Amino acid sequence: MTATSRRRCLAAAVATLVALAGGACSSADEPSGGGSYLVWDPYPQFADDSAWVALLRKCGEGAGVTVERTGYDTTDLTNKALLAAQQGNSPDVLIVDNPVISTLAEAGALTTTDENKLDVEAMAANLLGAGQREGRTYGVPIGANTLALYYHKEVLAAAGVDPATITDWATLNSALTKVKAKGKKGITFSAIGTEEGSFQFLPWFWGAGAQLTALDSPPAVSALTLWADWLRQGHAPNSVINNTQTTSWQEFATGDYAFAENGTWQLANAEKLGFGYGIIAIPARAGGPAPAPTGGEFVSIPVQRDSGRYATSRQLVTCLTSADNLLATDTTLSYVAPVTAVQDRQVAADPKLTVWVEAVRAAKGRTGDNLGTRYPKISESLWTGVQAALSGAKTPQEALAAAQRTAG
């Protein structure tokens, strides 16, 4: 990409995001020169005395530079990263949510791993895919989270259900029927009309064999019919239409539900439940674990006016994503590591992570299949269709046919 075309792409991307954000963006500060390197991340919850900031400083010391770190809210970070790239004052290292990589890459804001010489050989291919566009890789995953099914041990035991027998949609439906017969509630999840709703629907969508390029295919319709039938049969509450992943977890925490679809980020809360819980993979329609979408961030190196800075930036990224540092960082963030050997170490330290490692190994990136920046429009069409079907406004077939027309 030439400098002129890169500026043109950046200007278009910035204009779009500024419009979406209501023009609430401000320009980034000029990077410090000399021995200072800027790192921007989406972890504003970590203060200067946190283990995360200590690691950044340690990596800076190892590279012989001072790291100046700023943590931003995820949405704010994307806007600032695009504006900074347009103005030519990007941070040296940028850590962003994996779906954002495609937006920044298309805008010409990021260097590729071929250009910056980052080694991604050890990274799991399915996780690395979220940071790839048109055959080029634009960063290194720092960790991943995904979805699985939490279950209430006592509710399933009272219904005579062995969770180990739930391996496909038929056995899950059978379990829900038995739970309902015992006077308990079946399953709760998030189907809200936002990215959270799409995120939670995708394991069932992909698990049916559907593709995001054909939202109205027979497999896609079967997935939405599964969800719609759960509401119609009383296996899932009508509240799922407005549930976020947080509120659906709160429903599960009441102790009335057999299952809850949720993520690794709820593990700490799970330990506070007043009942015994377990976790199983979300089953695919015909059996085995369904591909769930990956969450988590990528560490990337933005385009710089001075290409001589890339070597030190590479040292910083390599340090942050080394095996020992990934193990410590991903434990802090409740992430599964993107490297098989580190995943094995995580399971050895905490066997409860076994199901999560298996889920991450079966997962896929939302912007994968070379969807890139097409994904947000497809996702919005999908969650709109899900809402229409679950509310009863349209049949699953009608809802997804409309979604496909909107997605284009």
Query: What does the alpha-carbon distance between residue 327 and residue 332 come to, in Å, rounded to a whole number?
Result: 9
30 pLDDT above the threshold of 70: no
pLDDT (mean) for 202-216: 98
Structural class in CATH, domain 147-293+372-407: alpha beta
- What is the chain's mean pLDDT, rounded? 91
| Every domain range in the chain assigned CATH 3.40.190.10 | 3-141+297-334, 147-293+372-407
Residue 13: pLDDT band (50, 70, 90) is: very low
140 forms bridges with which residues in the sheet?
299
Q: In whole angstroms, give the CA distance from residue 68 to residue 76.
A: 18
User: What's this model's pTM, rounded to 2 decimal places?
Assistant: 0.86
> Which tokens is 294 given?
């990956």
Summarize the confidence of residues 66-73 as an average pLDDT: 96
SS3 state at 187 = strand
Nearest by Cα to 260 from 241, 247, 274: 247
pLDDT, residue 14, reads 39
CATH topology of domain 3-141+297-334: D-Maltodextrin-Binding Protein; domain 2 (3.40.190)
Can you tell me the mean pLDDT for 113-126?
Answer: 95
Digit-coded pLDDT (tens) for 382-407: 999 999 999 999 999 999 999 999 99
Following DSSP, what letter does each residue of 380-391 receive, concatenated?
A: HHHHHHHHHHHT
Structure token pair of residue 241: 């239409």
What band does 247 get if pLDDT is binned at 50, 70 and 90? Answer: very high
Antiparallel, parallel or unpaired: β 36-41 and 93-97: parallel
387-398 in b/e form (b: 16+ CB < 10 A) is bbbbeeebebee
For residue 47, name the pLDDT band (cuts at 50, 70, 90).
Answer: very high
Q: What is the 3-state secondary structure (H, E, C) of 111-148?
A: CCHHHHCCCCCCECHHHHHHHEECCEECCEECCEECEE
DSSP 231-274: HHTTSS-GGGGT--HHHHHHHHHTT-EEEEEEEGGGHHHHTT-S
Q: Which of 304, 311, 321 is nearest to 91 (CA)?
A: 304
Lowest mean pLDDT, pick from 22-31, 89-98, 282-291 = 22-31
pLDDT score, position 279: 97
CA distances from 191 to 151, 172, 289, 353 (A): 19, 19, 21, 26
Q: What is the pLDDT of residues 302-341, one digit of tens each?
A: 999 999 999 999 999 999 999 999 999 998 888 999 999 9
Are the C-beta atoms of residues 277 and 253 closer than 8 Å to each other? no
**Mean pLDDT for the stretch of residues 65-83:** 94
